[in-house]
């Protein structure tokens, strides 16, 4: 089952839900993001049960609700006309902890000059860090592992997954903006569509709330996709991710790549994709 929505023809920042397979939607639906809470985690379970060929353990859902492990800004449900139809769940990992050993060994260190693929045709400096935050170190440098991303099949090809991913990327950028970055980080531009403006507002709101507690600096994002899933690969590349390496799935015995992988046979290969969010890192 192909789980990652990917829309090669769709511009990255298009408002979601305007078209289905290129056809205009008569009355465009309302698409919004929402938090995952103890009250609606049942909805996430239900979605995952349908989206992924494996079922996740109770521990997965406990972790989803643990804001230390999966901060709310990186895990969201997407609502289509107020019905939850997809989700993204990402986990925060300290950068010091080794990623699965084989991956870290094979990961190509990010080049300092190249901007992320596809999504950054132009670059703008990051917004200046608010006063007072520069002197204080904000959280430890972290990386974000996108565990699952999925949208129910009738709702694909409408830009919902892109909205989810872009939200997470923006949040990650925001976490850097808060940090005492010695060099202004180069950020991928966000096109000013209505939806993103709204996101930016949300982001600012969150920033305000976050001022008191240190927010982890997300310096990179990574995930796994199945080697054979070209559609998914294209999707992630469009959002600025680079293929770092292909490796054997037995390196991930616990099937991390479950968001993308349909099987765990010996010869199934996964790709590590990584996005730089900070060229100083």
Partner 1 sequence: MAPRKKPSAKAPVKPAAAAQATAQPQPIVPAPKGPVDNRALPKKESELFRQVLQLYETKQFTTGLKTVNQILENFPDHGESLAMKGIFLSCTGQKPLGYETVKRGVAKDSGSHIVWHVYALILRADKNFEEALKCYKKAVAIEPDSMSLMNDLAMLSVHLRYYAEYAAARLSILRSQPRVRRNWVYLAVAQHLAGQHWEADRTLTHFEKMLRDVPDREYEYGEILMYHAMVLEESGDLERTLEFLSEQSGQIVDRTAYSVQRAHILLKLGRLEAADWAWEVILEENPDSYEYIKASVLAKGADCDAKTEEGRAKAVEILDKLAEKYPRSLAIRRISLELVSGADFRTRAFTYLTNALSKGIPSVFADIKSLYTDKEKCQIIGELAEAFRQGLEEKGNFGAAEDDDTVESSTTYLWTLYFLAQHHSALSNHSAALSLLSLASTHTPSLPELHMLRARVLKRAGDEVGAMNAMQEARELDGQDRFLNSKCAKYLVRAEKIKEAEEVLGLFTKKDAPSPLEDLIDMQCLWILEEEAKSFIRQNNHALALKRYHQIFKTFHDIEEDQYDFHSYCIRKGTLRAYIQLLRYNDTLRSHPSYVAGAKGAIEIYLRLHDDPSSIQPPALTNGEAEEERKRLEEEEKRVREKKEREEKDRLEAERIEREKKLSKQVAKDKGKKVADKKPEPEKEVDDEPAFDLDPRGLQLLKAEEPLVEALKFLRPLQKEAPKEVETWFLTFEIAMRREKYLQALRALRSAYALSPSHPSLRPLITRFAVLVRSSSFASTQNEFVTSTISTELPELLGGLELEQFVVDGLQKSEGAEQVLGAARSMLELRGKDGEKKEVEELVFQLLREEVAVKVKPTLDGLRLLNSFSSPRADEYRQLASQRFPLARVFKTAEELAALDAKAEVKSEDQAGKEVVEE
Task: Pick between residue 113 and residue 254 the one whose CB is nearest to partner 1.
Answer: 254
Nearest CA-CA partner of 241 in 223, 217, 229, 227: 223
State the angle between helix axes of 194-210 and 160-178 in degrees (0 to 180), rounded to the nearest 10. Answer: 40
Nearer to partner 1, 59 or 194 (CB): 59
Smallest distance from partner 1 to CB 254, Å: 6
- Whole-number Å distance between alpha carbons of 201 and 241: 25
To partner 1, the closest distance from the beta carbon of 145 in angstroms equals 11
Compute the least distance from the CB of residue 164 to partner 1, in Å: 15
| CA distances, 246 to each of 105, 127, 190, 252 (Å) | 12, 35, 30, 12
CA distances from 254 to 50, 56, 123 (A): 20, 11, 38
Nearer to partner 1, 110 or 150 (CB): 150
Q: Distance between CA atoms of 32 and 29, rounded to whole angstroms?
A: 10
**What's the rounded Cα separation, in Å, for the pair 15 and 191?**
11
CB of 80 to partner 1, least distance (A): 6
Closer by beta carbon to partner 1, 178 or else 257: 257
**Site of interaction with partner 1 (CB under 8 A):** 17, 20, 23-29, 38-40, 42-43, 45-47, 49-50, 53-57, 59-60, 63, 80-85, 147, 152, 154-155, 158, 254-256, 258
How long a stretch of residues is the chain?
Answer: 281
User: C-beta of 210: minimal distance to partner 1 in Å?
Assistant: 25
Closest CB to partner 1 among residues 48, 175: 48
Closest CA to 236 of 223, 218, 220: 223
Q: Under DSSP, is residue 211 helix (H, G, I), strand (E, B) or coil?
A: coil
Residue 93 phi/psi, 5-degree rounding, is -125, 135
State which residue, 87 or 277, has the beta carbon closest to partner 1.
Answer: 87
- Nearer CB in complex with partner 1: 137/263: 263
Cβ of residue 123: shortest distance to partner 1, in angstroms? 35
| C-alpha separations of 183 from 40, 203, 216 in Å | 41, 22, 18
Closest separation in Å from C-beta 256 to partner 1: 8
């Amino acid at each position: 089952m192909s789980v990652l929505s990917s829309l090669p023809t769709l511009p990255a920042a298009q408002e979601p839900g305007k078209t289905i397979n290129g056809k205009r939607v008569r009355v465009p639906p309302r698409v919004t993001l929402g938090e995952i809470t103890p009250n609606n985690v049942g909805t996430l379970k239900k979605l995952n049960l349908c989206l992924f060929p494996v079922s996740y353990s109770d521990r997965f859902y406990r972790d989803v609700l643990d804001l230390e492990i999966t901060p709310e800004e990186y895990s969201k449900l997407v609502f289509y006309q107020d019905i939850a139809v997809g989700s993204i769940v990402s986990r925060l990992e300290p950068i010091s902890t080794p990623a699965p050993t084989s991956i870290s060994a094979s990961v190509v260190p990010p080049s300092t000059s190249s901007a992320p693929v596809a999504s950054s045709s132009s670059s703008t400096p990051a917004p200046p860090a608010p006063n007072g935050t520069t002197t204080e170190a904000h959280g430890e440098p972290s990386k974000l592992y996108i565990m699952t991303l999925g949208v129910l099949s009738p709702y694909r090809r409408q830009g919902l997954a892109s909205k989810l991913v872009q939200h997470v990327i923006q949040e990650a950028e925001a976490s850097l903006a808060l940090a005492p970055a010695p060099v202004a980080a180069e950020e991928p531009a966000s096109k000013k569509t209505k939806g993103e403006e709204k996101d930016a507002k949300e982001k600012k709101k969150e920033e305000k709330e976050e001022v008191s507690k240190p927010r982890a600096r997300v310096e990179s994002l990574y995930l796994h996709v199945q080697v054979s899933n070209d559609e998914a690969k294209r999707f992630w590349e469009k959002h600025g991710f680079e293929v770092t390496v292909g490796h054997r799935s037995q390196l991930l015995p616990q099937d991390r790549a479950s968001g993308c992988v349909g099987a765990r046979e010996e010869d199934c290969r996964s790709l590590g994709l990584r996005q730089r969010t900070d060229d100083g890192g």
